Amino acid sequence: MSREESVLRFEKVSFEYGHNKPILDEVDFPVRRGMKMAVMGQNGAGKSTLFALMSGTLKPDSGEIHVSQGVTIATAPQVIPRDQLSLAVREFFLKCFTEPVYDIDPRIDAVLEVVNLKQHKKLHERVMSSFSGGQQARLLLASALIQNPDLLLLDEPTNNLDTAGIEHLTKFLVEYPSTCIVISHDAKFLNAFTTGVLYLDVFTRKIEQYPGNYNDVQRDILARIDRENKKNAQLEKKIQENKDKANFFAQKGGKMRLVAKKMRTEVEEMEESKVAVRKEDKTIRPFTIPAQQDLSGVILTLTSYTLHGGKKSVTKKANISLLKNQHLLLKGPNGIGKSTLLERIVLGSPEGSHIAEGVKVGYYRQDFSTLDFEQTVFATLMKAIGQPDEERLRATAAGFLLSSDVIQTKIGDLSEGQKGLVAFASLVLERPGLLILDEPTNHINFRHLPIIAKALDQYAGAMILVSHVPEFVEQIRIDDILDLGK
């Protein structure tokens, strides 16, 4: 491939966050014009950092990043920056440009139409924090599209989107004429449009480039691992044979010792030629979320809820009582009020819901705002335990791939996926009686999801779940469904 065909090229690029936190190690790869590529890798491997390097937000420690002349780059991040949540929609979009824009309103209208945000004429003055998670995901995509970039970078764009939103986004990307790179853990979504994969290996800090979609990459990786294992097995057998012969000849003495020495040299050469087999992504260890002891009777009563999304809010009656070991699925399209309802329940709203006295609530928020971003992981997990028990803390953290160096990191410095793992570790340590989960699959490596689903399926307390991922929900026992969309 000639250099002229690429819109972006990494040459021997290395980058690390501070001391002892390497992300990339002399990475080389090109991105050809018009390609639809996926970036894959373990939570915390540095995928979002890679985007920051591509866009120029971060600079490499060494090596060069070449962007073709005239190529513009725009990024739709995973979440709206916390300091921009208080902005109105118009202000949010204006911040996408470095130069003054005088025709911003019609441009906003046009791009909101593309991302399928209805009633956009009335949205320009709304504050960003007032939108649901799914609506915020659409606004993030729109903020990149409004810049009309030559290279579009999308960081976990399906998070919080309902089924209709994912279908709309998939169709858009299939038809999108420019170059696009997407970070996602949704294999089905990636398979629909990608023509290549950049795989960031968390162990080697290298980027492996593959043609095809996710399924093609999985097949190629597994085939390669199989070949490498077979080659190493053959070498290991020959090494052992030579070792045995070398020991035999060494005991004979005389000239046989020279033969033994030569064979030991051959053993060393064979040891060096063994292939370093690629380490597949680790998965979290199987876990359980212990339920609060001595639960009895009705844990949660829900008598009414409020629907949003129309011309005005509407209050509906409900008749739901959750007992121990009962699981409720809360359904409905983006923006209808699911997250708002969960928040009202947790805050103990006097109207519409009641949590029995003494019940401990474990709350997994999709924006992780229950976590203190200024605290370390260690302090967060210690608070969840409620008593000094460092041995249990470290054992639980290790099960969620939160290593000894990660637990000394501030929550705000973690990747979104790592924040999710901290939130789950906290729930394990809290032992809640009522578990409330708002989109718990967001940002999480898809390899972890079956393990998380099994833990939720076995949870013995009362549980309310919101999730737009049907494959995930299918793995969890659901005893009742409240569909706000009906």
pLDDT number for residue 311: 63
- pLDDT > 50? residue 407: yes
Sign of the Cα torsion 123, 127, 130, 132 reads positive
Strands 361-364 and 434-438: parallel
In tens, the pLDDT along 117-159 reads 866 567 888 899 888 888 888 899 999 999 999 999 999 888 8
Element (H, E) at 481: strand 480-483
The neighbour count for residue 227, using CB atoms within 10 Å, is 12
Please state, rounded to an integer, the average pLDDT across all residues of the chain: 87
Give the Cα separation of 139 and 116 in Å (integer): 10
In tens, the pLDDT along 295-324 reads 888 999 998 888 876 567 788 888 899 999
Strands 207-211 and 179-183: unpaired
What integer is the mean pLDDT of 424-446? 93
User: Which among 53-62, 122-131, 166-175 has the top mean pLDDT?
Assistant: 53-62
Distances 224 to 197, 198, 213, 461 between C-alpha atoms, Å: 16, 16, 17, 44
In tens, the pLDDT along 345-394 reads 998 766 788 999 999 999 999 889 899 999 999 999 999 988 888 899 99
In which residue are the tokens 């690429």 written?
6
pLDDT number for residue 3: 46
What integer is the mean pLDDT of 434-443? 92
297: left (phi over 0), alpha (psi -120 to 50) or beta: left
pLDDT number for residue 2: 44
Angle (nearest 5°) at CA 137 between 476 and 425: 45
Residue 239: band (very low, low, confident or very high) from pLDDT cuts 50, 70, 90:
confident
Residue 93: band (very low, low, confident or very high) from pLDDT cuts 50, 70, 90:
very high
Superfamily of segment(s) 3-218: P-loop containing nucleotide triphosphate hydrolases (3.40.50.300)
In tens, the pLDDT along 44-55 reads 788 889 999 999
pLDDT number for residue 314: 84
Q: What whole-number percentage of the chain has pLDDT above 70?
A: 94
Residue 436: band (very low, low, confident or very high) from pLDDT cuts 50, 70, 90:
very high
What integer is the mean pLDDT of 98-121? 83
In which residue are the tokens 């309310």 written?
464
pLDDT number for residue 213: 81
- pLDDT > 50? residue 77: yes
Tokens (6 digits) for 19 = 């001391």
pLDDT number for residue 278: 54
Question: What single DSSP character describes residue 309?
Answer: S
Domains 3-218 and 298-483 share a fold: yes
Q: Check: CB of residue 444 under 8 Å from CB of residue 364.
A: no
Backbone angles phi, psi at 482, to 5 degrees: -115, 110
- pLDDT > 60? residue 26: yes
Give the Cα separation of 435 and 53 in Å (integer): 38
All structural domains of the chain with their residue ranges: 3-218, 298-483
Residue 475: exposure state from Cβ atoms within 10 A (0-12, 13-18, ≥19): middle
What integer is the mean pLDDT of 218-222? 73
What integer is the mean pLDDT of 275-282? 58
Which of 218-225's residues contact partners 24+ apart within 8 Å by CB, and which partners?
A: 221/278, 221/280, 224/278, 225/277, 225/278, 225/280
Give the Cα separation of 89 and 170 in Å (integer): 24
Q: Check: CB of residue 283 under 8 Å from CB of residue 421.
A: no
pLDDT number for residue 120: 57
pLDDT number for residue 397: 94
Backbone angles phi, psi at 75, to 5 degrees: -120, 135
pLDDT number for residue 41: 81
Q: What whole-number percentage of the chain has pLDDT above 90?
A: 44
DSSP strand E in 84-243: where? 151-155, 179-183, 196-200, 207-211
Distances 360 to 291, 295, 435 between C-alpha atoms, Å: 9, 10, 9
What integer is the mean pLDDT of 92-118? 87
In terms of Cα–Cα distance, which of 406, 462, 416 is closest to 440?
A: 416
The answer for residues whose C-beta is within 8 angstroms of residue 261's C-beta and 6 or more apart is 246
Question: What single DSSP character describes residue 376?
Answer: B
The neighbour count for residue 236, using CB atoms within 10 Å, is 13
- pLDDT > 90? residue 404: no
Residue 328: band (very low, low, confident or very high) from pLDDT cuts 50, 70, 90:
very high
pLDDT number for residue 134: 84
| CATH assignment, 298-483 | 3.40.50.300
